[in-house]
C-alpha cells in the first residue's frame, strides 16, 4: 500500500509467569529460529490473528521452523502489544501489525511508537468496500458523495475502530469529494457484525469495512456496493467499481506486516527477514494469498522501514484532517 496521489495503501505455557507476559519457552539463542513466536496484538479471530496463524501454518508445514507459537495480547488497537514488544529481547519473536496500528498509536497517544521497535516486512493487503443499504436511494458513489456534501452530519457512516483503516478511508474520500472531514458523522463499531446490523437496520447511511465483511450481503442484494478501495476490482464483488473508477483519486489497502523488538542486532534482523521472505516465496503462501484474496504487497527490510516512516507521517496528516489528533 502506498499513500501517494491521495492514496493510502487493519500450546499451553508451562509457567504462570510466562503466561502473564506472553512468553512461551525460553529466549532464543542468537540466530536460532527453530522456535518462533508470533504475537497477534488483538483478540482471536481478527485480521491480525488470522494472518499470524496462516503464517504459522506455512512456516511449520514447510519446515522453516519446527516450533511456531501464536499468542494474543489484546487492547487499544494493538498498542498494548506494541508496548509489550518494546520490553522484549527474544530474537525469535515477531509481532503482527498494520495500518490500523499506525492510526492507533496516534489516537491512543501511545507512549511506545513504531519507531521504537524493529520493522521486518509488510506481508499482505486487503481492499476496503463502501456500501449502503439495499434500499438506499444512492446507487453510485458519486450519488452518495453529493448528498454527503450537502448533509454531512445527517448521513452517518459506520466503520471499525476510531482512527482505523475505515475512518482513514472516510477521511480520504471526504477530502477528494469536497466534504469537510471534520464534519463526518463516523460511528465506530467493534466488529463487522455490529456495523452490518446497523446498516440493515437503517441506523446509518453507509458503511466501510474490508471487502470480505460485506461481500455476501452485496452479492445477495441486502447491501449495495458503491466502490472498493483497491487499484483493481475485487474478485469477491467484481461488479463493484473502484473508487478511482468512480472519479475519486483514492486507493487504500489495509496492509499487515511484522515487527520485532527494539535493539535487534543486524544479524538477528537479517535472520528474521530471511525467514519471512522464504515463507513468502513458498507455494504454500501463494495458496494462502489466493484462498483469502489477499493482495501480495510484500516489502522487507529497509524498504519496509522507509515505507513505514512515510506511512506514519501521512496517517498523522489524515487523522489531523479528520480532527482526531
Whether residue 249 lies inside any domain: the answer is no
Q: What is the DSSP string of 14-81?
A: S-HHHHHHT--SSPPPTT--SEEEEEE-S-TTSHHHHHHHHHHHHHHHTTS-SEEEEEE---GGGHHH
User: Are 28 and 107 in the same domain?
Assistant: yes
Tell me: do 185 and 271 sit in the same domain: no
Q: What is the pLDDT of residues 51-62, one digit of tens each?
A: 999 999 999 999
Confidence of residue 30 (pLDDT cuts 50, 70, 90): low
Same domain for 182 and 193, yes or no, is yes
Q: Is residue 314 part of a domain?
A: yes
Spatial contact of 260 and 300, defined as CB atoms under 8 Å apart: no
Residue 300 phi/psi, 5-degree rounding, is: -125, 160
pLDDT on residue 34: 82
Q: What is the DSSP letter of 300?
A: E
Do the domain assignments include residue 240? no
86 within a domain of the structure (yes/no): yes
In a domain, 235, yes or no: no
Establish if 274 belongs to a structural domain. Answer: yes
Looking at 228, 244, 273, the residue that finishes a domain is 228
Identify whether 236 is part of a domain: no
User: Average model confidence (pLDDT) for the chain?
Assistant: 89
Contact 193, 161 (CB under 8 A): no
Domain that holds residue 175: 128-228
Rg of the chain in Å (alpha carbons): 20
Q: How many CB atoms lie within 10 A of CB 222?
A: 16
Are residues 114 and 147 located together in one domain of the fold? no
CA separation for the pair 128, 214 (Å, rounded): 10
92 with 150, same domain: the answer is no
Query: Tell me, what's the pLDDT at 254?
Result: 94
Q: Domains in the chain: how many in total? A: 2
State whether 32 and 100 are in the same domain: yes
261 shares a domain with 120? yes
Q: Which residues contact 287 (CB under 8 A, 6 or more apart)?
A: none
CATH number at residue 175: 3.40.190.10
Could you read off the pLDDT of 108-139 as tens digits, one per residue?
Answer: 899 999 999 999 999 999 999 999 999 999 99
- In a shared domain, residues 184 and 153: yes
Give SS3 for 287. helix
Cα–Cα dist 165/169, whole Å: 6
- Position 187 in a domain: yes
Q: What CATH number corresponds to the domain at position 60?
A: 3.40.190.150
Q: What percent of the chain has pLDDT over 90?
A: 78
Is 142 found in the same domain as 109? no
- Regarding whether 120 and 25 lie in a shared domain, the answer is yes
Q: Tell me, yes or no, whether 293 and 274 share the same domain.
A: yes
Is 111 found in the same domain as 79? yes
Report d(CA 214, CA 263) in Å as an integer: 41
Amino acid at each position: 500500500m502506498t499513500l501517494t496521489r491521495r492514496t493510502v495503501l487493519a500450546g499451553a505455557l508451562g509457567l504462570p509467569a510466562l503466561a502473564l507476559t506472553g512468553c512461551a519457552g525460553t529466549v532464543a539463542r542468537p540466530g536460532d529460529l527453530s522456535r518462533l513466536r508470533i504475537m497477534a496484538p488483538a483478540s482471536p479471530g481478527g485480521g491480525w490473528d488470522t494472518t499470524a496463524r496462516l503464517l504459522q501454518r506455512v512456516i511449520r508445514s514447510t519446515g522453516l521452523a519446527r516450533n511456531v507459537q501464536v499468542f494474543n495480547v489484546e487492547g487499544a488497537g494493538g498498542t498494548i502489544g506494541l508496548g509489550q514488544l518494546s520490553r522484549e529481547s527474544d530474537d525469535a519473536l515477531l509481532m503482527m501489525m498494520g495500518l490500523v496500528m499506525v492510526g492507533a498509536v496516534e489516537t491512543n497517544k501511545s507512549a511506545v511508537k513504531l519507531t521504537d521497535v524493529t520493522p521486518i516486512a509488510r506481508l499482505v493487503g486487503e481492499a476496503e468496500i463502501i456500501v449502503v443499504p439495499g434500499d438506499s436511494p444512492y446507487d453510485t458513489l458519486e450519488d452518495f458523495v453529493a448528498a454527503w456534501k450537502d448533509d454531512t452530519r445527517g448521513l452517518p457512516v459506520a466503520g471499525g475502530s476510531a482512527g482505523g483503516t475505515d475512518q482513514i478511508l472516510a477521511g480520504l474520500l471526504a477530502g477528494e469529494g469536497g466534504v469537510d472531514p471534520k464534519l463526518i458523522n463516523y460511528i465506530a463499531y467493534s466488529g463487522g457484525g455490529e456495523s452490518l446490523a446497523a446498516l440493515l437496520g437503517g441506523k446509518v447511511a453507509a458503511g466501510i469495512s474490508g471487502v470480505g465483511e460485506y461481500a455476501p450481503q452485496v452479492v445477495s442484494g441486502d447491501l449495495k456496493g458503491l466502490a472498493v478501495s483497491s487499484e483493481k476490482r475485487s474478485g469477491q464483488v467484481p461488479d463493484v467499481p473502484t473508487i478511482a473508477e468512480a472519479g475519486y483519486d483514492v486507493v487504500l489497502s489495509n496492509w499487515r506486516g511484522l515487527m520485532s523488538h527494539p535493539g535487534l542486532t543486524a544479524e538477528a534482523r537479517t535472520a528474521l527477514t530471511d525467514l519471512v521472505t522464504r515463507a513468502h516465496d513458498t507455494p504454500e503462501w501463494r495458496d494462502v494469498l489466493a484462498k483469502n484474496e489477499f493482495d501480495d504487497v510484500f516489502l522487507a527490510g529497509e524498504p519496509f522501514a522507509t515505507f513505514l516512516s512515510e506511512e506514519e507521517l501521512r496517517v498523522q496528516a489524515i487523522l489531523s484532517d479528520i480532527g482526531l489528533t
